[in-house]
Amino acid sequence: MADTIHASADLSCDPLWRQAEACLRTLYGDDHRFEHSLIDLKARVADACSARPTALRHLDMTRANTPNWFLKPGRPAYCTYIDRFAGTLEGTAQHLDYLEGLKVGIFHPLPLLKPREGNSDGGFAVADYREVDPRLGTMEDLRALAAELRARDMSLVLDMVCNHTAREHPWAQKMLAGDPAFADFYIVLDSANEVAEWEAALQDVFPDTAPGSFTYDAGAGGYVWTTFYPFQWDLNYANPRVFVEMADSLFFLANAGVEGFRLDSTAYLWKRKGTISRNLPETHLILQALRALLTLVAPSTFLLAEAIESQASVLPFFGTPQARECDLAYNNGVMTALWGALADQKAGVLKTTIARAGEKPAHGHWLNYVRCHDDIIWLALSDTAAPERLTHWSDFFAGKGSYAKGEAFQAPEGFPASGCGMAASLCGGKDDPQMPARLKLLYGLTYALEGVPLLYMGDEIALENFDAYRDDPDLKDEVRWLHRPVMDWDTAGRRHAPGSVEHDMYAFHRQLADTLSAIDFKPGQSVCTEAEERLVIIERPLAAGRFVCVANLSAEPVIHKVAGRVLIGSDNDTLPAYGLRWFIEES
Ligand code: GLC
């Protein structure tokens, strides 16, 4: 099909094009700019199809019958900042053996496109979607890294910061300069009254450091919609031209060798007065159209939803088999509940969230994780856990009366403060003899879940909090930098020294990966409703028998009889404090 498109550039009859067109017509059919935008979009899709490099077309073909190719068994995703991991893109290429040692299958560097100068929210304020941050390298370096990763059977995933651009982005600059083609690219309200009307239903993301969702901008002549920081201007997706530009930016990066996109802040794309302006049906239509068009241009490229919302709100981001949206989504509900279970030493809410995660459609998959570069947002579990539990967890990981060495982060009024800190520190830190067992418990459970496991840089060697952020004037006001450390390669070198915690953790991750890659899983997963509340037990079907992961969430030994071949942990009937066991029950 792709070749026909390249040859004729006539998309009109292609079912994927028609699917995208139908979504866009629903969204924009009444807009006078629509028909022209559609012609423009069609030309860009055709151009992107013909510009697709041969090596990537080949990849598309080899993956044509395996749409879930990214579920590489035993191959975790690895997430890091390029500058903090290796300085530059070229430098990163020097550390691929380190990633191979962990059997990494997906490499996700956090935003590396050209950001605005100064504070850029860790790169999430993009000034150009077609250029790399010059401090990190060039587009050529990015293509080279993508190719090198491909050669090693690793896939490059990038963020697509699709909800907003930096104020410095050319689209914003052209709007400010009065260019009519960019007149309506952002949302600018005229009066403080209007702002108040919208704000009444909105929820602040950064209530302390960036209160409100609007920023007065004299150049723009009004109040610009800024969900996050004032320099991050929300795009106006009610304008069909915005969709065209964003889709085209995605095609450009896909053709540079990006094999998957993390769609940043996906929940926020569409706004409607009187609503919280998150997870609206129009946002899902945008994603359906994007998915269909990306399948035309770069069929083997996946979309990952970053929607840190309640589980009920995240599930729709997979779409349906007929109207697919994202291929993967962060399993935020389970991640948050996992930390809660560690604090409570009880499975409670964790079991509920694992069961609910199972409600996903077969074509969608979870990205399972323990930590990432953001805070743990307790309020995302508000519909599942009692408010006093959430408050307890928030306090616990902020170190109030507990072993955890984390810090509180801002949350909307009336909700418990979110949590910051590296996993090792939240588990007690290197001085706490229980830390390695707790950290292994969390990762052992996460790797056992159906989906793609994510390893956050540093956790594989139990790197602790980056306290030095407080000494950096550019970072000191943002607690999230506490868990964005600079990779310490000297410490990492100790992974070769048996007896060190680094060796222990790195070898453990390798063992998890090796073990998983030898198992022939079938789709599906269940969580046992065992009466022993200190245990969580996950089961996954195999061709013959089943895989079982048992974790003791408590600081006390618990009896649990092994009924099978043990893969990880001991085969003793007593599961030690924070003990983890994987085994196979043959049928
Ligand atoms: C996402 C990112 C976060 C950023 C925000 C605004 O949630 O993960 O780090 O601050 O979007 O771009």
The whole-model pTM stands at 0.97
User: How many alpha carbons fall within 13 Å on the CB side of residue 217?
Assistant: 23
Atom of ligand 1 nearest to the CA of 229: 6
Report residue 586 as tokens: 């043959």
Atom 3 of ligand 1, nearest CA residue: 374
Cα-to-centroid distance, 306 and ligand 1 (Å): 9
Catalytic residue among 264, 309, 375, 407: 264
The crossing angle, in degrees rounded to 10, of helices 501-517 and 435-448 is 20
Give which of 247, 263, 301, 304 is closest to 48, Cα–Cα: 247
124 lines ligand 1 (CB under 6 A): yes
121 lines ligand 1 (CB under 6 A): yes
Q: What is the rounded CA–CA span in Å between residue 519 and residue 71?
A: 13
Atom of ligand 1 nearest to the CA of 228: 6
How do residues 84-95 score in pLDDT, each as one tens digit? Answer: 999 999 999 999
Atom of ligand 1 nearest to the CA of 122: 9
265 lines ligand 1 (CB under 6 A): yes
Q: What is the pLDDT of residue 392?
A: 98
What is the separation, in whole angstroms, between the first and last Cα of the chain?
44
Cα-to-centroid distance, 229 and ligand 1 (Å): 10
User: How many alpha carbons fall within 13 Å on the CB side of residue 337?
Assistant: 28
Cα-to-centroid distance, 347 and ligand 1 (Å): 29
Q: What is the rounded CA–CA span in Å between residue 195 and residue 304?
A: 32
pLDDT band at 9; cut points 50, 70, 90 = low
Report residue 218 as tokens: 């004299």
The answer, yes or no, to whether residue 4 has pLDDT greater than 60, is: no
CB 280 within 8 A of CB 32: no
Q: What is the rounded CA–CA span in Å between residue 456 and residue 109?
A: 10
Atom of ligand 1 nearest to the CA of 308: 7
User: How many alpha carbons fall within 13 Å on the CB side of residue 202?
Assistant: 24
Q: What is the rounded CA–CA span in Å between residue 583 and residue 565?
A: 5
Phi, psi of 174 (to 5 degrees): -70, -40
Q: What is the rounded CA–CA span in Å between residue 493 and residue 486?
A: 14
Give which of 501, 491, 510, 499 is closest to 437, Cα–Cα: 501
Whether residue 264 lies in the annotated active site = yes
Domains in the chain (CATH in brackets) are: 526-585 (2.60.40.1180)
375 lines ligand 1 (CB under 6 A): no
Report residue 469 as tokens: 């952020």
264 lines ligand 1 (CB under 6 A): yes
How do residues 14-61 score in pLDDT, each as one tens digit? Answer: 999 999 999 999 999 999 999 999 999 999 999 999 999 999 999 999
How do residues 427-486 score in pLDDT, each as one tens digit? Answer: 999 999 999 999 999 999 999 999 999 999 999 999 999 999 999 999 999 999 999 999
418 lines ligand 1 (CB under 6 A): no
Q: What is the rounded CA–CA span in Å between residue 342 and residue 404?
A: 11
